[in-house]
Structure 1
Amino acid sequence: MFGVIIPAKNEEKSILAVLTTVLRLPISYIILVLNGCTDRTLELARSIPDTRIHILYFSEPLGIDIPRAVGALYARHLGVTGALFVDGDMSGDIYHNLVQLLTSIESGVDVALTNCYPYIPHRQKLANLVLKFRSKLNRELDLFKTLGLATPTHGPHALSKHALDTLPIKAIAIPPLTLYWAKEIGFSIKVATSIPHEALHSPRKHRRHARLIAETIIGDCLMGIALSQAIPMTRSLGKHNLLGYHPERRFDLLRDWQESLKSQSLFYEQHVIIPGTSNCASREIVNSSV
């Protein structure tokens, strides 16, 4: 009973292609986490009459990677036997790669990753800097020979039920920390498939966004390195504090969501849209968003 977790923010151009791909997989749930959407993403998702689709709708932006953690908590709540993470803008032909990730989990792997750099062509300075710190973290964790540059930050990946249930939820909200905790706990970690970054068909972003993403990833890697070295967690590199999008991560809403799943509170009812139900709160959410 696998679940697919799809974070999406304003992905009206790609969401139907992504859903078309994952609907072909042998899965029980598709957990679509919509956050801060102001376009037709919700409308398009609801146009697919498939009861496996569960929509978690947040009118406020949750910040980078927090939607993955929101979806992971919901997948735990549903009792899935494994979770596959696919971003809402990954509209490329990656069906067979997703199958390989699921097959790897079924074979006993706990953390199955994608190598998005099966070859290293010429890259811009910013990309090379990010790769340098991904490499540094994987070497620090003694995982480089196994994983190379692979990381949960980039590309589809999957977790076993044991990993999903055991990893600190913050480790899913800050993806490089997944690697630290997976190694610390003794999980099986493997690269299960390769997809050149270009084949994901993720749209190119503007220059400022690219810089902030780079700062976010490098800062996340620095946190993982600090954990591994048992020193106070930091995002600082020399005089630079690499925050990027980190301050926009809504850990407060993530905590509220975690508590609401335990109590089935109004907060839970207001954010879950399940096809075929007549939940009043869900109707209000839909009406207020279109």
Structure 2
Amino acid sequence: MFAAVLPCRNEEKSILAILTTVLRLPVDYIILVLNGCTDQTLELARSVLDARIHILFFSDPLGIDIPRAVGALYARHLGVDGTLFVDGDMSGDIYQNLHSLITTVISGVDVALTNCYPYITNRQKLANLVLKFRAKLNRELDLFKNLGLSTPTHGPHALSKQALESLPSEAIAIPPLTLYWAKRNNLVIKVATSIPHERLRSPRKHRSHARLIAETIIGDCLMGIALSENRPPARSLGKHELLGYHPERRFDLLRTWEQSLKSRDIFYEQHIIITMLQADANNSPKPNETL
């Protein structure tokens, strides 16, 4: 069994496009992680009647990358053999790339990545700075020769069952740490496909967002570099601590979610939406869909 995890935050403009793509893939579960959505994303997602769709709805924003880890834990809970991760704002024609990620994991790779910067020689100054630290981390991990600048931070990627079971949830929530833990656990890591960033068709964000994203990624890479050097994870660069969006990551909710999956407590029940169609298909009682 294979699952696809789609983190979504106010993606009403793209959710139907990415669902149309993912529904064509050989996946058994499509896990939508909706966090802090205030638009029509939930309503649009529920309008697609397919028994594979499971919606995890959090009214509070979870912060960057936490939804990916939330979906990964749920996929592990379902007992899948692999999981594809693709953001809910990626509305481009990337079906074949996503299919390649799945088949690469099925072939025996544990961490299948996408190269989102093929053939680009001229980049903006901020992008170059981010890529510098991504390269530094991959070199520290002795992965640069095989991965180049590729990272779970950017672009669709996929994890095997072994990766899902061995990676700490917080490592999935801080994507560069996925590489650190994968290398530490002797997992097989490979670039499976290439998608120029523009073809993802993710919407452009304002400059302040770009700066905060850059600080987040660089800080994440610094944590990975520190761990690779047997130091406590830190986000400091000289006198500066690169936080970006890191303080908004709701690790508390991630830990609560992880515990609730084991006990199936009220927190678990409150955050899962299963459509009437799914309940009928699974021959299970129709759940309470009140949030």
Q: TM-score, normalised by structure 2?
A: 0.96
Letter in 2 for 1:120: I
Pairs aligned (count): 283
Q: Which residue does the alignment assign to 2:223?
A: 223
Alignment of 1:1-290 (within 5 A): 1-276=1-276, 277=279, 278-280=286-288, 282=289, 284-285=290-291
Q: State the Cα deviation string for residues 54-101 of structure 1 (Å, max 9, x = none).
A: 000000000000000000000011001100000000100000000100
Q: State the Cα deviation string for residues 28-78 of structure 1 (Å, max 9, x = none).
A: 000000000000000000000101000000000000000000000000110
The CA distance in 2 between the partners of 1:98 and 1:33, in whole Å, is 18
The CA distance in 2 between the partners of 1:185 and 1:264, in whole Å, is 29
DSSP-derived class of the 1:127 partner: helix
Q: State the Cα deviation string for residues 106-144 of structure 1 (Å, max 9, x = none).
A: 110000000001112321111000000000000010000
Give the superposed CA RMSD: 0.7
Runs of 4+ that moved beyond 6 A:
none
Letter in 2 for 1:245: Y
The CA distance in 2 between the partners of 1:173 and 1:68, in whole Å, is 7
The CA distance in 2 between the partners of 1:232 and 1:40, in whole Å, is 42
DSSP-derived class of the 2:69 partner: helix
Deviation for aligned residue 1:279: 2.2
The CA distance in 1 between the partners of 2:76 and 2:275, in whole Å, is 20
Q: State the Cα deviation string for residues 129-160 of structure 1 (Å, max 9, x = none).
A: 00000000000100000000000000000000
The CA distance in 2 between the partners of 1:184 and 1:262, in whole Å, is 26
Letter in 2 for 1:90: M
The CA distance in 1 between the partners of 2:134 and 2:74, in whole Å, is 29
Q: State the Cα deviation string for residues 219-253 of structure 1 (Å, max 9, x = none).
A: 00000000000012110001110000000000000
Letter in 1 for 2:233: M
Letter in 2 for 1:258: E
How many percent identity over aligned positions? 77
Letter in 2 for 1:18: I
Letter in 2 for 1:118: P
DSSP-derived class of the 1:191 partner: strand
The CA distance in 2 between the partners of 1:127 and 1:270, in whole Å, is 40
Q: State the Cα deviation string for residues 251-275 of structure 1 (Å, max 9, x = none).
A: 0000110111011000000000012
DSSP-derived class of the 1:254 partner: helix
Q: TM-score, normalised by structure 1?
A: 0.97
Letter in 1 for 2:236: S
The CA distance in 2 between the partners of 1:72 and 1:235, in whole Å, is 25
